[in-house]
Amino acid sequence: MAIVRRKPRNASLRFQTFIDTSDLTKKKPERSLTKGLKRVSGRNAYGRITVRHRGGGAARKYRLVDFCRMDRDIAGKVVAIEYDPNRNVRIALIVYPNGRKRYILTPEGLVVGSVVAAGEAVDAQVGNCLPLRNMPIGFVVHNVEIRPGSGGKFARSAGTSVQLIAKEEGYATLRMPSGEMRKVNEACWATVGVLGNADVKNVSLGKAGRTRHRGFRPTVRGMVMNPVDHPMGGGEGRSKSGKIPQSPWGKNAKGAKTRRRKNALIIKRRK
């Protein structure tokens, strides 16, 4: 997938780049696999803001992606590749012989007409889903479960994958996209292949408006606030007030550990 640069007919187009959409084969989503998406604007179930600088943005519908690959031991055909506004990877519409339709994440190499399946004994081919215990060592996979039956949790964004390093004593050792090495139960399911649309990280939004369309509101730096508003505020000119980078509530903002207890399944932390 290529990066497209448009002619700078005006100032807002001068630095904008876009992802080529020639791979998309369907414009409107499958109606039976969509539902309304309520805007939470960074608020939790109690209405309190837990993520700042969120709100607005273009209206969108949620696509019901099958992270569990519920249809087992039955082959389905890819009939369309679609855009999903809720994630940075394309989604593929699968139709099974019994008429059931599902969305899955699209790995590299999956095209319209491809046949995919999920099951204990399916071949380890791109787009097929099977337990880690039945995969050859060294394979790269995505949409990996963290515990059996939980549905895919790891490696779900564009261009990412997890590598199967070893299998022993009922556990599979995985190398995560971050470089972390961890174990998961080898009964966990995963899908073969590397997710596509890897060039999305190279897109230049080019103007503030495209950020607002995605639901991100403006952010003010703590260093330009007053001391009453932020620990790093105040001072004559640029000054962090002698403090390391902190959040508005005094929590260390860079490099602070956030895991409360040690996980025995993590062999090596990310760098």
What are the strands, taking DSSP E only, across the chain?
A: 3-5, 17-19, 34-36, 61-63, 76-82, 91-95, 101-105, 115-116, 129-131, 140-142, 144-145, 152-154, 162-168, 171-175, 181-185, 189-192, 266-268
Average pLDDT over residues 243-267: 87
β-strand 181-185 against 115-116: which pairing, if any? unpaired
In-domain check, residue 107: yes
pLDDT tens readout for residues 8-27: 999 999 999 999 999 999 89
Structural domain boundaries enclosing 80: 3-201
Please tell me the total count of domains within the chain.
2
Please check whether residues 83 and 197 belong to one and the same domain: yes
pLDDT tens readout for residues 193-235: 999 999 999 999 999 999 999 999 999 999 899 989 998 888 8
Please check whether residues 134 and 267 belong to one and the same domain: no
Query: What is the structure's pLDDT at 5?
Result: 94
Residue 13 CB-density burial (10 A; 0-12 exposed, 13-18 middle, 19+ buried): middle
Please check whether residues 172 and 268 belong to one and the same domain: no
Beta bridge partner(s), residue 162: 141
Query: What is the structure's pLDDT at 242?
Result: 75
User: Residue 257 belongs to a domain with what CATH number?
Assistant: 4.10.950.10
User: Residue 134 belongs to a domain with what CATH number?
Assistant: 2.40.50.140
Please check whether residues 19 and 70 belong to one and the same domain: yes
pLDDT tens readout for residues 164-183: 999 999 999 999 999 999 99
Collapsed DSSP state (helix, strand, coil) of residue 225: coil
The single-letter DSSP state of residue 130 is E
- Domain termination site, one of 201, 217, 235: 201
Query: What is the structure's pLDDT at 1?
Result: 66
Please check whether residues 197 and 231 belong to one and the same domain: no
Beta bridge partner(s), residue 183: 173
